[in-house]
Each structure stands twice: as C-alpha cells, then as structure tokens.
Amino acid sequence: SYELTQPPSVSVSPGQTVSIPCSGDKLVDKYVAWYSQKPGQSPVLIIYEDTKRPTGIPARFSGSNSGNTATLTITGTQAVDEADFFCQTWDSSNEWVFGGGTKLTVL
Amino acid sequence: QVQLVESGGGVVQPGGSLRLSCEASGLQFNKFGFHWVRQAPGKGLEWLTYIRHDGGRKDYAASVQGRFTVSRDNAKNILLLEMSSLRPEDTAFYYCAKDYGLVAATPAFDYWGQGMLVTVSS
C-alpha cells in the first residue's frame, strides 16, 4: 500500500517561514491535500490539489509538489498556527492515504 | 453552511457492534461522496471508507474490510457506518468527512464532523 512520510515535529519562531515536507513514491503524479488540526478539534482542509487554498484559509499557507515530495509552507508564521499538520493523497488502489502528521511548534 | 453532525459513539465490548450516524445539512447531499476517518487518541488520521454520491461505489481500508459497512440515505441526508467484530485497536475518534469533489471522488475532504469517541473495552 502507498505510504506518505512526514517528520514528527518541526519548530519555528514567530514571523519566520517554515516548510513541512511529505514524501511518497512519485508523489508528483498525485494530488496532495494538507490539513491542520488543533487539540480537541476536527481537521481543517488548508491546501488541496497541491497548491489551492479553500476560501477562508490565509494566504500565508502555500503548497507545492515536485518529484517525491510535497511541501506545505507557512510564511510569516503566527502563534495561532501551532497545530498538527497532515498530508493526504489518493492511491490508484482506491485508498485515501494520510501522512503520519507533523507537530508544528511556534517558539 | 455545511454541517456534519455525528452520533452513535460510545463504549462497546470486544466482538461487539456499533452503528455511527452522520447527519448532513447545508449542502446538496446526493451530489457528494463521503468518507469515514478515525484517529486513535494522540495518533494520526486513518482513512476507513468512502461511499459515492449515489451509494453505487464503496471503498474500504484493509483494516476494516469485511467488518465495517458504509451506507447512506439520500432522502434523509444521513451517512451510516455499521461496525462489527470490534477490537480494542478500533478505539478512536471517528469522523465523517465530505469529499471535495462534485459527484467524483477527490483526494481532499473539505468538511468534517465534530468527531465521536468509540471505545472498545471489556
């Protein structure tokens, strides 16, 4: 089955830029979505189809996908962005796959 | 405004069964596919099952194939998950989630329910 790999944690200082990678075999051939989840809350879609932002998601969130790695980038990180982030894709075996998640700490 | 409200969670003994419901509002329910996703406490997200807008296609993760059954009632805007032969490792928060795509499935879930805890324990 297809697998997506994320680092368990990353940290960033307020106002700085942080990138969260998500790796998978030939991931560039698939669409990737990203979700943010804060403690006790449901996941929120923040990026879909690699680069698109749903209505209401701040422009400081952006996505890219190249080769075997998709990347979520937060530019000008705010304390409110502290959360768990999950990448997701859809495998040709008709399974939806999530990465293991990355905990973002804003120091 | 799209809302997904789940119900039916609780405590069940190993080997038991449970039915989860997800009532949708604020959307044309019969135009969208839906998923169930679970999250063990403190762990990551695990996709479980998908049902197409018309109920004509259903996909399952290997971990629940043959034990869980997804269905929908488009007249009542309700999504159901029937769970049987439950195991302690099925203990998790269960979410229903709407597929982003109109009619066709996509790799993005744009609305999620509030989640409900299912605990499998004797």
Residues A10-62 pLDDT 10s: 999 999 999 999 999 999 999 999 999 999 999 999 999 999 999 999 999 99
The partner residue sitting opposite B115, judged by closest CB among A42, A45, A96, is A42
User: How high is the pLDDT of residue B51?
Assistant: 95
Q: Are B46 and A98 an interchain contact pair (Cβ–Cβ within 8 Å)? A: yes
CA distance B103 to B88: 35
Interface list for chain B against chain A, based on CB atoms closer than 8 Å: 35, 37, 44-47, 50, 59, 61-62, 95, 97, 100, 105-110, 112-115
Per the CB < 8 Å rule, is A42 touching B113?
yes
Which residues in chain A are closer than 8 Å to B44, comparing Cβ atoms? 86, 98-101
Q: What percent of chain A has pLDDT over 70?
A: 100
Q: Whose CA is closest to B12, among B85, B119, B116? A: B119
Partner-chain contact A96 B95, CB within 8 Å: no
Give A58-94 pLDDT, tens digit per residue.
999 999 999 999 999 999 999 999 999 999 999 877 7
Distance CA A11, CA A48 (A): 23
* Residue A104 scores a pLDDT above 80: yes
pLDDT, tens digit only, all 122 positions of chain B? 999 999 999 999 999 999 999 999 999 999 999 999 999 999 999 999 999 999 999 999 999 999 999 999 999 999 999 999 999 999 999 999 999 987 777 889 999 999 999 999 99
C-beta atoms of A31 and B35 within 8 A: no
Q: Does residue A1 carry a pLDDT above 90?
A: no
Which one of B59, B106, B114 has the shortest CB-CB distance to A95? B59
Best mutation target, B45, B49, B51, B57, to test chain A (most A CBs within 10 A):
B45
Q: Burial letters for B70-102: b for 16+ Cβ neighbours within 10 Å, e otherwise? A: bebeeeebbbbbebeebeeebbbbbbbbbbbbe
